[in-house]
A and B are shown apart, each in its own frame.
Chain A
Amino acid sequence: MTKSHIKVTINGKAVEALVEPRTLLIHFLREQQNLTGAHIGCDTGHCGACTVDIDDMSVKSCMTFAVQADGASITTIEGMANADGTLSALQEGFRMMHGLQCGYCTPGMILRAHRLLQENPDPTEDEIRHGIAGNLCRCTGYVNIVKAIQYAAAKINGTPFQEAAE
């Protein structure tokens, strides 16, 4: 099968590559680009572990072909830290609030929470819970994930952080 030539921007870097049309974006990122942060969880579009940001949309990269992303700008967890290498507000929030245990869902959670906060900088707890409805976590029970996102929102907005009720 002839390969397609694609040009994408990944974490701010221009990338050109040849891909088989059937190559899923998650495989392109992990296997051709060595960006193994985004995970394959369920492989059926349910769990959200493979979530990346494509042109300002949260997308499940196991449900998208790499060719469909031709011309797009993609952000993965590897592109989430601040330019000076320090943790971004969301990453810091997950660390400070213990928003992860095994960590498998975390890259997808952070990418999804990133887009949520871009669209809704001061979400209620309910909006956070609905906003991450496409991301499954089997460890935390979500309580600390919600707190982590609230922590990040407060830090970005420069407002005091108020913990969600348990």
Chain B
Amino acid sequence: MIPGTFAYHRPTTIGSAVALLIELGEDARPLAGGHSLIPLMKTRLASPEHLIDLAGIDGLSGIARSDDDIVIGAMTTQHSLIGSSLLSELAPIIRETSLMIADPQIRYKGTIGGNCANGDPGNDMPALMQCLNARYALTGNEGSREVLARDFYLGAYETALAAGEILTAVRIPVPAAGHGYAYEKLKRKVGDYATAAAAVMITMAGDTCMSVSIGLTNVAETPLWAEEAGRLLVGTKLDEGSVASAVAAAEAITDPASDMRGPADYRTKMAGVMLRRALERARSRATA
């Protein structure tokens, strides 16, 4: 499978990348790891006439703490997320999730920015970013702005990214010390996209749930932040009754497609099962 022809650009600054995107308009697309875009180009589902490779821009990758945020550059690869001791210490759910994405080769190339900007409901990072209440730093020709991951996804492959804008970094509030976490993903085999998946972050005081945030992957046209399900759990002891109503609330907001991963109602139920498992594991990991 051979992609259509295109012109290749490798700007060295964000400013020149944005300028190229504006100048070339709809025919141009940013290129990060290429592991979502190149498959689309090979099957000719996408035929951009210009690719703006972000790989030549300095300063777009790296992981650092800045006050109360963890800042991850857009071109940071999934492989680097897995190897980061800062993330293992402060937000190990990012490592856990990254390890469930695709396979080792894909993870050397796939970037967090590409995974978040792509808009494919199958991507695992977006629901995790909603769970963590991340903000996306976007730069366009009018300057920079921030959009919450929870506001970013509008539909399948439709995001709040404006024409000419580049996602430069993801900013994640440093999670509370002692939090529990889990990403549970049902897939048919290693390397597959999720049939359904759930991200959970939780804090406990003794037996009581003090806060919880839930994200769901690949059970709607967008990732889902299950706000109501979380609300039903705060203040409870995560007893069976409360968990069952939270699971029902989460299932109620799903709207999956029927596809080779299963019929819609099965995938909805699996979202519930993943949430249940993630809650259990997150709780067992929470301290305090």
B1-45 residues with Cβ-Cβ distance < 8 A to A are 1-8, 10, 31, 34-35, 38-39, 41-42
Q: Interface residues of B toward A: which range?
A: 20 to 34
B interface secondary structure, majority: mixed
Which residues of B lie under 8 Å from residue A67 when comparing CB positions? 8, 53
Which residues of B lie under 8 Å from residue A134 when comparing CB positions? 102-106, 191
Shortest A7–chain B CB gap in Å is 13
What residue of chain A has the Cβ atom nearest to residue B8's Cβ?
A: A21
Contacts A112-B105, A133-B103, A133-B104: A21 and B1 contacting too (C-beta < 8 A)?
no
- How many residue pairs link A and B with beta carbons under 8 A? The number is 81
Which residues of B lie under 8 Å from residue A124 when comparing CB positions? none
**Contact between chains at B42 and A133 (CB < 8 Å):** no
A45 CB within 8 Å of chain B: yes
Q: How far is the CA of A67 from the CA of B41 in the complex (A)?
A: 15
Shortest B99–chain A CB gap in Å is 8
Which residues of B lie under 8 Å from residue A45 when comparing CB positions? 35, 39, 106
Contacts A21-B6, A64-B109, A134-B105: A44 and B55 contacting too (C-beta < 8 A)?
no
Q: How far is the CA of A75 from the CA of B183 in the complex (A)?
A: 35
A153 CB within 8 Å of chain B: no
Q: Considering only CB atoms and an 8 Å cut-off, how many residues of chain A contact the other chain?
A: 31
Q: How far is the CA of A60 from the CA of B6 in the complex (A)?
A: 21
Binary interface profile of A, 24-60, with partner B (CB < 8 Å = 1, else 0)?
A: 1001000000000000000111101001000001111
A131 CB within 8 Å of chain B: yes
**Contact between chains at A4 and B8 (CB < 8 Å):** yes
**Contact between chains at B34 and A1 (CB < 8 Å):** no
Shortest B94–chain A CB gap in Å is 18
**Contact between chains at A21 and B55 (CB < 8 Å):** no
Q: How far is the CA of A1 from the CA of B5 in the complex (A)?
A: 7
Q: How far is the CA of A7 from the CA of B120 in the complex (A)?
A: 34
B108 CB within 8 Å of chain A: yes
**Contact between chains at B105 and A21 (CB < 8 Å):** no
A68 CB within 8 Å of chain B: yes
B283 CB within 8 Å of chain A: no
Which residues of A lie under 8 Å from residue B51 when comparing CB positions? 21
B190 CB within 8 Å of chain A: yes
A159 CB within 8 Å of chain B: no
B79 CB within 8 Å of chain A: yes
What residue of chain B has the Cβ atom nearest to residue A61's Cβ?
A: B105
**Contact between chains at A133 and B39 (CB < 8 Å):** no
Which residues of B lie under 8 Å from residue A20 when comparing CB positions? 5
A residues in contact (CB < 8 Å) with B: 1-2, 4, 20-22, 24, 27, 43-46, 48, 51, 57-60, 63-65, 67-68, 70, 112, 116, 130-134
Given contacts A4-B8, A58-B104, A60-B109, 8 further A-B contacts (CB under 8 A): A22-B5, A22-B6, A24-B2, A45-B35, A51-B105, A57-B109, A63-B34, A68-B53
B residues in contact (CB < 8 Å) with A: 1-8, 10, 31, 34-35, 38-39, 41-42, 51, 53, 55, 79, 102-106, 108-109, 190-191
A sample of 22 cross-chain residue pairs with beta-carbon separation below 8 angstroms, ordered by A number, consists of A1-B7, A21-B5, A48-B105, A51-B105, A57-B79, A59-B105, A60-B109, A63-B34, A63-B39, A63-B106, A64-B34, A64-B38, A64-B109, A65-B8, A68-B55, A130-B190, A132-B104, A133-B103, A133-B104, A133-B190, A134-B104, A134-B191
